[in-house]
Amino acid sequence: MSSPPTQPLSILAHSTSLGERAAWQDRSVAVTAGPTAVVTGASSGIGAATARVLSGAGYFVYCASRRAERIEALAAEIDGTAVRCDVTDVRSVAHLAELVGPRLDVLVNNAGGAFGLDPVATADPEQWRAMFDVNVLGTLHATQALLPALTASGDGVIVNIGSIAGRVAYEGGGGYTAAKHATAVMTETLRLELVDQPLRICEVAPGMVRTEEFGLVRFDGDVERAEAVYAGVRDPLVADDVAEAVRWIVTRPAHVNIDLLVIKPRVQAAAHKVHREP
């Protein structure tokens, strides 16, 4: 693996003028001399952990997220680049691709989320739409925009962060499981379609991961409901566990494709089967 770049750069994609952008692109050739990675949803949780782990493995990381302040701090910490990007917006993702340039080694499609836990009969269609926008179309947008740069690297790796929810169904999770099923099928289809290209297409499907925001977002800020998800569960996964799985996948030899890596805490036998202590 090449040595990491020595000149960190932190910018906000939306705030650069055309002239500034051109100057940045000229400079980026020198800045990103080593292997490069884009991590979406990098402002917290699995995304932030993955950015840190990949940086530690020698990658220059583009930290992409809507929340500028958080990714600027992260980029400064890991000597990467902060790019404000909304993966549900095609133009925003195109801007990200423009800033990354003609070559990219790794794309981690991590941006996602769950909203609500209502049964199908009474679910809010807007919540379903939001889940498909970020989990499915967001992954599609980033993949389409960055695919040429990944192919140009000669060994591009796409890692989609799915979920065990993409392989099962459970009451109250219709919208989220449907979105994650779509992510899983997209990953498998892309692998079939690009088998003749120098690309590896992979999915990490975590089980119960305790992060600072996933439950709060799902339950609209209700701390009690968010905490109840982990009640009695000894040692659920944490973001670093998933990030290390991503690092392992992308650092395999070029001929090795990890189609699917399912990772769960020891106390979780299935999505619906979790040992809880009194």
pLDDT in tens, 163-186: 999 999 999 999 999 999 999 999
Judged against a pLDDT cut of 90, whether residue 32 lies above it is answered with: no
In this prediction, residue 228 carries a pLDDT of 81
Largest CA distance in the chain: 61
**Ordered DSSP codes for 236-264:** -EEHHHHHHHHHHHHTS-TT----EEEE-
Judged against a pLDDT cut of 50, whether residue 25 lies above it is answered with: no
Cβ burial of 69 (10 Å; 0-12, 13-18, 19+) is: exposed
Q: What is the mean pLDDT of residues 246-254?
A: 99
Domains in the chain (CATH in brackets) are 13-274 (3.40.50.720)
> For residue 190, what are its two tokens?
């892309």
| Residue positions annotated with a catalytic role | 176
> Sign of torsion, CA 5 99 153 185?
positive
In sequence order, what are the residues at sequence separation of 6 or more whose Cβ sits closer than 8 angstroms to the Cβ of residue 44? 67, 70, 211, 212, 213
Arithmetic mean of pLDDT over the chain: 89
Judged against a pLDDT cut of 90, whether residue 14 lies above it is answered with: no
Cβ burial of 145 (10 Å; 0-12, 13-18, 19+) is: buried
Alpha carbon separation from 253 to 52, 148, 154, 250 (Å, rounded)? 21, 21, 13, 8
Q: What is the mean pLDDT of residues 112-129?
A: 95
> For residue 109, what are its two tokens?
């499609």
> For residue 73, what are its two tokens?
């701090």
Could you tell me the pLDDT band of residue 147, with boundaries at 50, 70 and 90? very high
**Ordered DSSP codes for 120-142:** GGG--HHHHHHHHIIIIIHHHHH
Tokens 């090449």 label which residue?
A: 2
Lowest mean pLDDT among 31-35, 56-60, 140-144: 31-35
In this prediction, residue 7 carries a pLDDT of 38
In this prediction, residue 12 carries a pLDDT of 52
In this prediction, residue 216 carries a pLDDT of 65
pTM of the model: 0.88
In this prediction, residue 139 carries a pLDDT of 99
Judged against a pLDDT cut of 90, whether residue 250 lies above it is answered with: yes
Q: What is the mean pLDDT of residues 257-277?
A: 96
Share of the chain above pLDDT 90, in %: 78
**Of residues 142 and 232, which shows the higher confidence score?**
142
Comparing CA positions, the residue from 181, 180, 176, 164 lying closest to residue 119 is 176
Share of the chain above pLDDT 70, in %: 87
Query: Torsions phi, psi of 263, nearest 5?
Result: -130, 120
Q: What is the mean pLDDT of residues 65-81?
A: 97
Comparing CA positions, the residue from 268, 263, 203 lying closest to residue 229 is 268
In this prediction, residue 215 carries a pLDDT of 67
For residues 183 and 190, give the distance between their C-alpha atoms in angstroms, rounded to a whole number.
11
Could you tell me the pLDDT band of residue 13, with boundaries at 50, 70 and 90? very low
Q: How many CB atoms are closer than 10 A to CB 14?
A: 13
**Of residues 33 and 250, which shows the higher confidence score?**
250
CB 14 within 8 A of CB 95: yes
In sequence order, what are the residues at sequence separation of 6 or more whose Cβ sits closer than 8 angstroms to the Cβ of residue 120? 174
CB 137 within 8 A of CB 79: no
Judged against a pLDDT cut of 70, whether residue 6 lies above it is answered with: no
> pLDDT tens digits for 93-119?
999 999 999 999 999 999 999 999 999
Cβ burial of 100 (10 Å; 0-12, 13-18, 19+) is: buried
CB 21 within 8 A of CB 99: yes
In this prediction, residue 26 carries a pLDDT of 39
